Amino acid sequence: QVQLVESGGGLVQAGGSLRLSCAASGRSFSIVAMGWFRRAPGKEREFVAAITWSGGNIYYADSVKGRFTISRDNAKNTVYLQMNSLKPDDTAVYYCATRKQYYSDSYQSPRYDYWGQGTQVTVSS
């Protein structure tokens, strides 16, 4: 199986920045895409950003466009999420996910094969 290890979460004031990292280990020699999802208190999981592994195509949720940047290091099987201009509404548990198969679902869909443990991001006002 594949293990996803996340880091970089924490507490930050509004307007601040954080960078999340997620490294895949195990049989992670084949990756179609990696993405970030989040779940805020009392809300359902929502898509944040995704990047395809071969072409580097990037997708963002409208709520984070212009503030968040997703990037990857193919050799390290690692995806990053640079979060700038953070708002209290960004407070959530952030989950890294990897897609190892080609599906008809869009990359914004939660159909991913493996998920990280989640890392808490708290933005205070």
pLDDT by residue (tens digit) across 43-72? Answer: 999 999 999 999 999 999 999 999 999 999
- Predicted local confidence at residue 28, as pLDDT: 56
Please state the rounded mean pLDDT for residues 88-95: 98
Say what the pLDDT of residue 26 is: 81
For residue 14, what are the CA distances in angstroms to 3, 33, 69, 105, 107?
31, 30, 17, 34, 29
- pLDDT at 27 > cutoff 90: no
**Mean pLDDT, residues 101-113:** 95
Residue 95: which of 53, 59, 44, 42 has the closest Cα?
44
Confidence at residue 29, expressed as pLDDT on a 0 to 100 scale: 66
- The whole-chain average pLDDT of the chain stands at 95
Q: Mean pLDDT, to the nearest integer, of 105-114?
A: 95
d(CA 27, CA 39): 27
DSSP, residue by residue, 77-89: TEEEEEE-S--GG
Assess whether pLDDT exceeds 90 at residue 1: no
29 Cβ neighbours under 8 A, 6+ residues apart? none
SS3 label, residue 35: strand
